[in-house]
Amino acid sequence: MDLGLQQKVYVLTGATRGLGLASARELAADGARVVLSGRSAESVDAAVAELGGPEHAHGVVADNADPGTAGRLVEAAQERFGRLDGVLISVGGPAAGPVVLAGDEAWRGAFESVFLGALRIARTAAGALSEGGVIGFVLSGSVREPISGLGISNGLRPGLAMAAKSLADELGPRGIRVVGLLPARIDTDRVRELDSLSGDPEAARARASAAIPLGRYGTPEEFGKVAAFLLSPAASYLTGVMVPVDGGALRGL
pLDDT digits (tens, 9 = 90+) for 36-63: 999 999 999 999 999 999 999 999 999 9
Q: Which of 136, 113, 115 is nearest to 240 (CA)?
A: 136
Query: Predicted confidence band at 243 (pLDDT cuts at 50, 70, 90)?
Result: very high
Question: How far is the C-alpha of 172 from the C-alpha of 123, rounded, in Å?
Answer: 14
**Which residues contact residue 93 at a Cβ distance below 8 angstroms, ignoring those fewer than 6 apart?**
114, 140, 150, 153, 190
5 neighbors 34 (Cβ within 8 angstroms): no
CATH, domain 9-244, list 1.10.3470.10, 3.30.1360.30, 3.40.630.40, 3.40.50.720? 3.40.50.720
Q: Tell whether the model's pLDDT for residue 13 goes beyond 90.
A: yes
- One-letter amino acid at 155 equals G
Q: Given a cut of 90, is residue 1 above it in pLDDT? A: no
Nearest to 36 by CA among 58, 68, 62, 7: 58
Dist CA 58 CA 133 (whole Å)? 20
Q: Tell me which of 199 and 124 has the higher pLDDT.
A: 124
Tell me the per-residue pLDDT of 194-205, one tens digit each, with 9 for 90 and over: 889 888 999 999
For the chain, what percent of residues have pLDDT higher than 90?
A: 91
Residues 105, 111: contact at Cβ < 8 Å? no
How does pLDDT run across 22-38, given as a tens digit for each residue?
Answer: 999 999 999 999 999 99
Query: Is residue 34 within 8 Å of 12, Cβ to Cβ?
Result: yes
| pLDDT tens string 210-228 | 999 999 999 999 999 999 9
- Confidence class for position 184, pLDDT limits 50, 70, 90: very high
Query: Among 70, 171, 69, 86, which Cα is nearest to 135's?
Result: 86
pLDDT computed for residue 123 by the predictor: 97
Q: How confident is the model at residue 80 (pLDDT cuts 50, 70, 90)?
A: very high
> In this predicted structure, what is the pLDDT of residue 58?
98
Residue 94 reports pLDDT greater than 90: no
